[in-house]
Amino acid sequence: MTISRYEKILMTYASEIQRYLIKIGANPADAQDIIQDVLVKLIQADLVMAPDKLRPWLYRVALSRFYDLYRRAKRYQAILSEQFYLIYENETDVTDDRKWQLDQALKSLDDYQLALLTHYYQDEQSVKTISTIYQVSQAKIKTDLYRIRQKLKQEMEREDENK
């Protein structure tokens, strides 16, 4: 089998797996990232598999990566929910309805926003440390944290109005 034919088969499988990942709940950007990670892993492993073994291997690796991302997102949400509950419990009595609103608001955040909140509130890292991690200015981190808090507030108020 020639390399160009192998590449065509590989790209066919990659697009098939990407569609499958989107179908099971991954957003398109995450699906593309997962496929890219799988292809990089294939290249780094320096594997040349028969087409009948290539497809199952690609699916297995892609699904494993998808489940890892899913678990990480759930863990971030759980950590953030716990921390925000502690903050609210210190100020006022938190009702089950308020907890539900917070959960809904946290689900609207992307991975970067959840990570920022986790670094700042859970890990109690300084803005300077977070800016070093992300290699951006401290002003950007402060602005992003402010915007995230405002977004959470708006989402919770929206849920309040919808009742």
Q: How far out from the chain centre does Cα 107 lie?
A: 11
Instruction: Please give the Cα distance from 155 to 151 (Å, whole number).
Output: 6
What does the pLDDT average to over 68-91? 70
Place of tokens 């921390």: 83
pLDDT at 42: 87
Instruction: Please give the Cα distance from 144 to 152 (Å, whole number).
Output: 12
pLDDT in tens, 87-117: 555 544 445 666 777 777 788 888 888 888 8
- Better pLDDT: 128 or 98: 128
How far, in Å, are 21, 109, 117 from residue 77 at the CA level?
21, 9, 10
Instruction: Please give the Cα distance from 131 to 34 (Å, whole number).
Output: 26
- Residue 108: half-sphere exposure toward Cβ, Cα within 13 Å: 16
Cβ-Cβ contacts under 8 Å for 156 (sequence gap 6 or more): 98, 101, 102, 104, 105
pLDDT in tens, 11-61: 999 999 999 998 888 888 889 999 999 988 888 887 777 778 888 999 999
Q: What is the CATH number of domain 3-71?
A: 1.10.1740
Instruction: Please give the Cα distance from 76 to 81 (Å, whole number).
Output: 8
Q: Would you state the structure tokens that stand for residue 95, as one six-digit string?
A: 């009702």
Under CATH, what is the fold of the domain 95-162? Arc Repressor Mutant, subunit A (1.10.10)
Domain ranges in the chain are 3-71, 95-162
Place of tokens 């803005």: 127
User: Is residue 1's pLDDT more than 80?
Assistant: no
Cβ-Cβ contacts under 8 Å for 145 (sequence gap 6 or more): 116, 117, 120, 127
The pTM assigned to this predicted structure is 0.50
pLDDT band at 2 (very low <50, low <70, confident <90, very high): low
